[in-house]
Amino acid sequence: MTETRAISLIVNGRPRGATVEMRTTLVDFLREQLRLTGTHVGCEQGACGACTVLVDGEPVRGCLLLAVQADGARVETVEGLAPDLEHLTPLQAEFVRHHGVQCGFCTGGILMSLTASLRDNPRPTEAEIRDTLAGHLCRCTGYQGMVDAVLALVAAGEPAR
Amino acid sequence: MTAPASRPAAARRPAGGYIGAPIPRREDARLLTGRGTFVDDLEMPGVAHAAMVRSPHAHARVRRIDTEAARALPGVLAIVTAEDIADIQKPWPARMPSPVPGTSVRHGVRHTLPVAKVRHAGEVVAVVVAESRALAEDARDLVEVEYEVLPVVATAAAALAPGASLVYEELGDNIAAHIIQRVGHPERAFASADHTLRETFRVMRGGSHSMEGRAVVARYDEALDSFTVWDATQAPHAIRAMLAYLFDLPEHRVRVIAPPDVGGGLGPKTSFYPEEALVCWLARRLRRPVKWIEDRLEHFMSAAQEREQVHTVEIAFTRDGALLALRDVFTHDVGMYGALIAPVITACTVPGPYRVPNIHSEFRAAYTNLPPTAAVRGAGRPQGVLVMERMMDRMAETLGLDPAEARFRNLIPADAFPYPVGMVFRDGAPLTYDSGDYPELLRRALEIADYPRARREQAELRAQGRHRGIGVAICVEGVGLGPFEGAILRLDSRGRVVVTSGAPPQGQGYQTAFAQIAADMVGVRFEDVDVVTGDTGAIPYGIGSFASRVTANAGPAIALAGGELRQKILAVAAHLLEAAAADLEIADGAVHVRGLPDRGVPLAQVARLGNGGVAFGMIMPGGLQVGLEASAYFAPSQAGYSASAHVCILDVDPDTGEVAIVRYVVGHDCGNVINPLIVEGQILGGVAHGLSNALYEEAFYDSEGQNLASSFLDYPLPSAREMPRIEMFHLTTPSPINPLGVKGAGEAGTLPVPAAVAGAVEDALRPFGVRVNRMPLNPARISDLMHRA
C-alpha cells in the first residue's frame, strides 16, 4: 500500500525529483511535497475541477491522476502563471476588474483550464467560454464575473498570459 | 513564461469618498496567483493528520469499538473514543432560545462524541491520528465498531408520528419547538372572505457545499497551557467560547483564527462541530499540531444542512384581490441537532412585502435521525418566499389577474415605513420593516424585463405550441442581525490605519470593504489601511459572518471607531503643528493645516508621538492622551430589511422536462452600498445558489436515514453552462437603523429564485394544468408533473 517510486518532472519550468507513494495523487504531491498549495481539492473525485493543473499543456484533474503518472511530464500550476502579485497575467487582471473571484478556492483550477483553452482558441464566444468553465464548480460567483473577464480579454485582443 | 500585465487599478479616492465606489478587491491578487491562506495551505511543521470514524447507521447504540488492528498500523499515533476524552465530554450548552415570548425551544443534549448512541449516519464515533492523512484513513478503515441498530425517524412527519422512535429519549418526544405567532383575527377573516385557497408545498433538504469543506488545525502550547486553532469557521469567537468551556480554560488561552481566506461558508461553518474539539484534544495529547480537513463525502454526511419543510398554507382574499388573511402551518426537520434559526425566519418571511392584516403562523420543528441543521444561504427565507409567492400566483389565477397586478394590489406602499408586520423576528425584536419601496422595485424589474412585450411573445409562442413561462417574485429579507460586531482602529508606527474586526470573511471581500469605510471615516488613503479579521487574539469580542449581517454591524462599528481615531490623530498633530485641531486636514499620508500643504506632519510621525511619546522616560508633552486607537461596538436595535424583485422568463420542453432560462432580471435594495462590485458579486452568487435549489440540487434520504445522493455526481450543482446571464439593478432606500444606512446582501440573491422559477414553470405549462408544489424542478420532476397533469 505504501510502495514508493522515484519520479522526475518539470513543475512550473523547474526540474523536480521526488520519491512518492504509488497511491499519491498528483494534487497531493504538488500540495504536500512541493508545497504548491494554490491548487485545491474540492471533491476528490474529479467533479469540481478545483485541482486542475496542466500536464504537458493539457488541463488534468490533479485528484484523478497519480503522481507517478506524471513522471517525466511538464506540469504547470496556478503558481506558475504570474511571477508575483504585482505582475498578473492579462487573464488574472481581468478577473480582478470583473470580480471573477470571491473566496478563491476554485480559482486556481479555473485559471489553468481557461489559460489552456484560450491558448488553443483565443477568440471564444460566450458559449465556448461557458463550456470551458463547465468543468468547474464555483459556489460563490455564479460564474458571470469570470465569463465577463474572459470576454473583456477577448475584446481587448489580449492573450491569457 | 509570464507576460507582465497591468496591476489592478490603484484605488483613487473617488469624489464623495471610497464608500460607494466599485473598488477592485485587494484580496484578489493573492488568490489568483495561488498564494491564498486557506487552512490546509498553512505551513504547520510537525502536523499530524486526523481521520474520523463515522457511523454508517442513522440511529444505533454503539456496543463495542475495536481499535486493535488499526493501532498496529505503522504511522498511527492515536485512536480515540468517547471514553478517552471523558475530560471534555460535557453536555454542549443550549443553543438559541426562542425569540417569541411565551414559547420555548427544547434542546436535545449533545456531546462531542456520542454517549451510548449515534443519531445520524456520519456521526463521529472515534478519531484516528497518523503521520499522514492516507495512513489515518487506512487505520480508520480497520477500526471495527459493533452497533445495535435502532428504529430511524428520517422525516419530520415520521418524527412527529405517534409512537415514533425518539432521537432524545429525555425529551419524551421529538418536538424541538412548537411556535405560534398571530396577528389580528385570522379565523374571522377566513370566515367572511370572498375567496380562500389552500395548498401544500414541500422544500427539500440541501447543503451549502462551499468549495472548501470544514477545516481545522490545532496547536497546544504546554508552557502557556493554551490552544491556537486555525479554523475555517464563520464564527471564531463562538468556537473559542465552546473550546474554553469544554477544556475548562479561560478564553484568553484559546485563540481561534479564521484565516483571511476561507473557501466559502454559506452557513454551516457558523456551527461548532465535534471535530473542532477533537483536534484540540489530540493536539494536547500528542503535543503536536493536529489537522483535520473535511472531504466532500464528509461534507455530505456531517456538515450542517437546511431547508426541509412542508407547509400547508391558506390565504383569504377579496374578489378584488386584496389579501385578508394568511394561515401557514409547517413542519421543519431539525435533524439530530440544530438551532431553530431557519424555521423562525421562515415564519417571519412568509408575509413578505404585502399588507396581511390577519396572520396565523405555526410550525413544529422535529428532531430526526438526519445530519444536523443550521442555516444555508437564505436560512429559512427561500422557503417562506416560495410559499407566499406561489399563493400570490394562485390567487392571480383564481381571479384571472396578471400575477404582477395581483402583487401590486397588496404591496406595502412606500410611505408606510417603518412598517410593523405584527410578528416577532428571529432577533427578538418586532418584525418591523425599516425602509423600502416595493412597488418601485417591482415596477422597475418589470420594466427592465419588458413585461408587456414578454407577455405578448408568450402568447405568440403558445399559439405556435411552445411553452414559455414568466415568473415574478418579490420578497423582504431580514438582514443585519445583531447582537453586535466590533472594530478596533489604530494608527501604526508606519502611519497606516489598522482595522481589526471579529467576523471573518469567506469570500465577501472584507479587506476591501472595511478599508473603504475606514479610509473615509479616518480621512486617509484606501491603500494606507490594513484589515485584520477573524482572530480572537486580536479583538476580544465578535459574533461572526452569517445572516447577511457584517456590513450592517461591523460597518457602523468601523465608522464610529474611525471618527474617534480621526479626532485622536488630529489632537496629536495639532500639538506637533502648533495649530488648532479644527484647522487640520489629513491628505496623502500626512496631516496639514488646511490651505497650507507645506505645513504638515507625516502620519507616521503623529503615530510615533501618539503611541510612543517623545522618548523613554520623558513625559507626554502638552497633556496629550496616549494611544492612537479607538474601538467601538455597534449593536443594532433590530434587523434591517432588504428587498428583492425577480422576473424569470423561461421555456419548458414538455417532452424532456428541460428548462431553458431566456431572461433573468434581478432588482435589489440593500440600502446604501459600500462597494457595488462586491454587492453585485454577492447577488450573482446568491442567484446561482437559488437556481441550483430551484432546478438541480436534491437530497435523497431513505427511510433508514441513508444519504442516497452523497457526491456531486448524484447531487448536481450548476456550472457556467447552466447559469443564465443575470440582469441586475439596484434601488436604494437607506436604512435608518445604522449610521451608514446599509442593510445586507449576502443571501439576497437566493431568496426569490425558487419562487420565480416555480411561477414561470407553472405558467409555461398552464395549458396542461400543471401544479408546481415541490422543488427542485429538474427534468424528471417536470416530466412527472406533465404525466400527472
B-facing residues of A in 24-63 (CB < 8 A) are 24, 31, 35-45, 47-48, 50
Question: What CA–CA distances, in Å, run from A61 to A27, A129, B501, B703?
Answer: 8, 19, 38, 36
A-facing residues of B in 186-215 (CB < 8 A) are 208-212
B27 vs A contacts (CB less than 8 Å):
101, 104
Q: Do B24 and A129 touch (CB under 8 A)?
A: no
Output the pLDDT for position B673.
Answer: 97
Per-residue pLDDT of B484-495, as tens digits, reads 999 999 999 999
Output the pLDDT for position B236.
Answer: 98
Per-residue pLDDT of B680-717, as tens digits, reads 999 999 999 999 999 999 999 999 999 999 999 999 99
Candidates A33, A39, A96, A128: best to mutate against B (most CBs of B within 10 A) is A96
Contacts of residue B29, defined as CB under 8 A and 6 or more positions apart, other chains included, come to A85, A86, A88, A92, A96, B8
Question: What CA–CA distances, in Å, run from B559 to B566, B673, B742?
Answer: 10, 14, 12
Rounded distance, CA B122 to CA B371, Å? 8
Sign, CA torsion B531/B537/B540/B543: positive
Contacts of residue A37, defined as CB under 8 A and 6 or more positions apart, other chains included, come to A31, B34, B36, B38, B40, B41
Q: What is the ipTM of this complex?
A: 0.98
Rounded distance, CA B562 to CA B312, Å? 49
Q: Do A103 and B711 touch (CB under 8 A)?
A: no
One-letter amino acid for residue B197 of the chain: L
The answer to whether residue B712 neighbours chain A at the CB level (below 8 Å) is yes
Question: What CA–CA distances, in Å, run from B364 to B332, B350, B494, B758?
Answer: 6, 16, 57, 25
Q: Do A85 and B688 touch (CB under 8 A)?
A: no
Distance from CA of B722 to the nearest CA of A (A): 8
Q: Do A133 and B719 touch (CB under 8 A)?
A: yes
Output the pLDDT for position B13.
Answer: 60
SS3 B56: coil
Torsion of CA A99, A105, A108, A111, to 10 degrees: -40
A145 vs B contacts (CB less than 8 Å):
681, 684
The region, left, alpha or beta by phi > 0 then psi within -120 to 50, assigned to residue B333 is beta
Output the pLDDT for position B4.
Answer: 33
Sign, CA torsion A93/A99/A103/A104: negative
The answer to whether residue A136 neighbours chain B at the CB level (below 8 Å) is yes
**Is B523 in contact with B573 (CB distance < 8 Å)?**
no
Rounded distance, CA B620 to CA B608, Å? 12
Peptide bond into B736 cis (omega under 30): no
The answer to whether residue B96 neighbours chain A at the CB level (below 8 Å) is no
Rounded distance, CA B11 to CA B485, Å? 26
Sign, CA torsion A152/A158/B2/B4: negative
Q: Do B32 and A107 touch (CB under 8 A)?
A: yes
A-facing residues of B in 728-787 (CB < 8 A) are 749
Residue ranges in B578-630 assigned as alpha helix (H): 603-612
Q: Do B210 and A90 touch (CB under 8 A)?
A: no
**Is B460 in contact with B134 (CB distance < 8 Å)?**
no
A84 vs B contacts (CB less than 8 Å):
33
**Is B779 in contact with B761 (CB distance < 8 Å)?**
no
Please count the other Cβ atoms lying within 10 Å of the Cβ belonging to residue B63: 10
Contacts of residue B299, defined as CB under 8 A and 6 or more positions apart, other chains included, come to B207, B209, B213, B214
SS3 B550: helix
Q: Do A103 and B687 touch (CB under 8 A)?
A: no
Calculate helix-pair angle for A144-155, A126-133, nearest 10 degrees.
Answer: 130
Segment holding B127, helix H or strand E: strand B124-130
Q: Do A44 and B296 touch (CB under 8 A)?
A: yes
Question: What CA–CA distances, in Å, run from B695 to B310, B753, B754, B775?
Answer: 18, 10, 8, 7
The region, left, alpha or beta by phi > 0 then psi within -120 to 50, assigned to residue B741 is left
Q: Do B507 and A102 touch (CB under 8 A)?
A: yes
Positions in chain B whose pLDDT score sits under 50:
1-10
**Is B647 in contact with A101 (CB distance < 8 Å)?**
no
The answer to whether residue B8 neighbours chain A at the CB level (below 8 Å) is yes
Rounded distance, CA B757 to CA B393, Å? 12
Q: Do A104 and B6 touch (CB under 8 A)?
A: no
Rounded distance, CA B221 to CA B40, Å? 20
Please count the other Cβ atoms lying within 10 Å of the Cβ belonging to residue B96: 14
Percent of chain A topping pLDDT 70? 99
B-facing residues of A in 79-108 (CB < 8 A) are 79-90, 92-93, 95-97, 99, 101-108
Q: Do A104 and B2 touch (CB under 8 A)?
A: no
Rounded distance, CA A76 to CA A11, Å? 6
Output the pLDDT for position B478.
Answer: 97
Q: Do B721 and A131 touch (CB under 8 A)?
A: yes
**Is A112 in contact with A78 (CB distance < 8 Å)?**
yes
Output the pLDDT for position B1.
Answer: 30
**Is B431 in contact with B423 (CB distance < 8 Å)?**
yes
The answer to whether residue A144 neighbours chain B at the CB level (below 8 Å) is yes
Output the pLDDT for position A1.
Answer: 55
**Which residue from B24, B32, B687 is facing A142, i.e. has the nearest CB?**
B687
What's this model's pTM, rounded to 2 decimal places? 0.96
- State which residue of chain A sits closest to B212, comparing Cα positions: A42
Candidates A11, A140, A151: best to mutate against B (most CBs of B within 10 A) is A140
B8 vs A contacts (CB less than 8 Å):
88, 93, 96-97
Which of B236, B733, B233, B670 lies closest to B485 in space, CA to CA? Answer: B236
Output the pLDDT for position B5.
Answer: 36
